[in-house]
Amino acid sequence: MKVITQNQLHDFLRSLTTKYDVFGPVVLHDGMLSLGQLETKPFKLLSGKIPLRISSIFFPHASTVLTISADRVDVPQAASKPILVIGLTAGDLEALEFTDNFFLTGCRDDLYHQNRSTSIVIGVSGRSSANGDFHKISGGKCDIELINDGERFLVSTYSEKGKTLVDRISAEDEDISLEALQQESNSLPEPDRDIIQKASELLLQDKVSDEFWVNVANQCIECTTCNNVCPTCTCFDMYDVSNKDNVIRYRQWDSCQLSGFMREASGHNPMREQASRARRRIHHKLAADVQRWGKISCFLCGRCDDVCPTGLGMKAVARDIVEQFG
């Protein structure tokens, strides 16, 4: 297994910029973390949560679907360089796997596929040299995983693309065991997992009252942030803009918390009541997805809990469900 320092990693990523559009965690002007392009400073790996949904790198907030001119229809061309994104945690990778399944299984989403199929995803885990926190080891779900032992990154590869790339790292292989780190990873507590699981069961058993959702709705201002930061939310709306010479069809993140989300052209709206929309957000992840995909589609990243202005994130609502109906 190759073992590299932060500086070696930075040099390696720099060397890849001719071939890839290299993204990773950067600090923006206001001090927050975000996915940004590699510049002179090294990426801030294992430095904290990136507030925006990670899937935005492949599924941006707004994008062009097609352009219709008088004599032709153009679809967006693939970017000149494929995307390489580094810095995803085990939780991010679980969410990305779910999003991949959604967009790429069955009726494939071409725009997502265009960005994702050529991409390289590098996960990070282990002990953060920034704050000493230990991050769960993913053990897969990406091309390469960099596992920090507190000083250096141990390089694991999980795909052919990943192996080919890692072969270009000039560091020698070292005979080093992941066992101790893996044990530490396995022993990490997951206090919220039980709550989400219990809430999911209660929803599947239809134990949660209508009144509960009215109460949630009364506190929700429909800012839509919960959806927009959620790494497994994938809904979008499509619309056309007529310009002088063409019509451009766009797609843009949508939110199930908005009344227009389900409104029919007739005006009839099966989710006119806000309470039904409040229920849907939670029910979808904790019950509907369990029935469709066999698993809960909340991977406990806590992004919605971090930012909901009135404290209605997934974990908070799940906790209330368990307290009131468990």
| Interacting residues toward other proteins by CB under 8 A | 28-34, 36-37, 51-52, 56, 60-63, 218-219, 221-225, 228-229, 237, 239, 241-244, 250, 252-255, 258-260, 263, 267, 306-311
Tokens of residue 221, six digits: 């201002």
Min dist CB 314 to other proteins, Å, is 15
Which helix H or strand E contains 64, and what residues bound it? strand 62-69
Residue 13 near residue 86, CB atoms below 8 Å: yes
Whose Cβ is closer to other proteins: residue 161's or residue 263's? Answer: 263
Residues 6+ apart with CB under 8 A from 192: 300, 302, 315, 318
Inter-axis angle of helices 314-325 and 210-219, nearest 10: 150
Min dist CB 175 to other proteins, Å, is 41
Tokens of residue 77, six digits: 């061309």
Min dist CB 310 to other proteins, Å, is 5
Whose Cβ is closer to other proteins: residue 164's or residue 219's? Answer: 219
Min dist CB 207 to other proteins, Å, is 23
User: What DSSP line would sit under 169-196, residue for residue?
Assistant: --SPB-----HHHHHHHHT---HHHHHH
Whose Cβ is closer to other proteins: residue 168's or residue 268's? Answer: 268
Tell me whether residue 24 is exposed, middle or buried, using C-beta atoms within 10 angstroms of its C-beta: 0 to 12, 13 to 18, 19 or more: buried
Whose Cβ is closer to other proteins: residue 170's or residue 310's? Answer: 310
Min dist CB 113 to other proteins, Å, is 19
Whose Cβ is closer to other proteins: residue 153's or residue 236's? Answer: 236
